[in-house]
Amino acid sequence: MGTNTWDIDVSHSAIQFHVRHMVISKVHGRFARWSGAIQLDTADLTRSSVAVRIDAASVDTQVADRDAHLKSPDFLDAAKYPEITYTSKRVEKAGDGYRVIGDLSIHGVTREVVLDAEFAGTGKDPWGNERAGFAAKTSIDRKDFGLKWNAALETGGVLVGEKVEISIELEAVKKAAAAPAAA
């Protein structure tokens, strides 16, 4: 079978996150602009890989002032570090799912991050395109990426949690084979 390129269909996919706010609740957000591709071997998923590029300035928590703060040098510093990237290094079978081990780069810092992933399978859409579905999740400590801003609360604790939960839903479309060059 071999490996084929599948483009991530961002209109049917999402990269979302949540982080504790004031210890008692969670703030949810997403990235609105991003792209990526999967090198997929449907016969042996451990031979697959993924690469994603995220526009850091597209962070969206549905609150303009908070989004502006997240884009500022206090957090993502999107002007200086416009992209967040994830590039897998290997895929391992893990029970019923998979572990995708790769390099996550945020704010000029690259760290190895493991995604716990599920493969939902493949199918044909009404227009004959072959599609594949995936879900993945992980958590990171934002301080590991130099995102250290915080404010102490009078009641104890801090304004913004350090653990960031990330969830990913991906739908990918198999690229058509290139037509052979005319002789």
> For the whole model, what pTM was predicted?
0.82
Question: Where residue 88 falls among pLDDT bands split at 50, 70, 90?
Answer: very high
Angle at 122 (CA atoms; ends 118, 128), nearest 5 degrees = 155
Task: Give the percent of the chain with pLDDT over 70.
Answer: 83
Q: What is the CATH number of the domain that holds 37?
A: 2.40.128.110
**Segments forming the whole domain that contains residue 68:** 4-174
Beta strands 4-8; 97-106: pairing state = unpaired
Is there a domain that residue 102 lies in?
A: yes
| Secondary structure string (H, E, C) spanning 150-164 | CCECCCCCECEEEEE
Nearest-angstrom CA–CA distance, 117 and 18? 18
Stronger pLDDT, 8 or 110, i.e. the higher one? 110
Number of domains in the chain: 1
Stronger pLDDT, 26 or 39, i.e. the higher one? 39
Is there a domain that residue 181 lies in?
A: no
DSSP-based three-state secondary structure for 127: coil
Give the tens place of pLDDT for each residue, 12-38. 888 887 776 544 456 778 889 998 888
Is there a domain that residue 134 lies in?
A: yes
Task: Give the percent of the chain with pLDDT over 90.
Answer: 23
Give the tens place of pLDDT for each residue, 122-173. 888 888 888 888 999 998 887 777 766 554 445 544 445 566 778 999 888 8
Q: Which of 77, 13, 76 is nearest to 50 (CA)?
A: 13
Residue 151: predicted pLDDT: 44
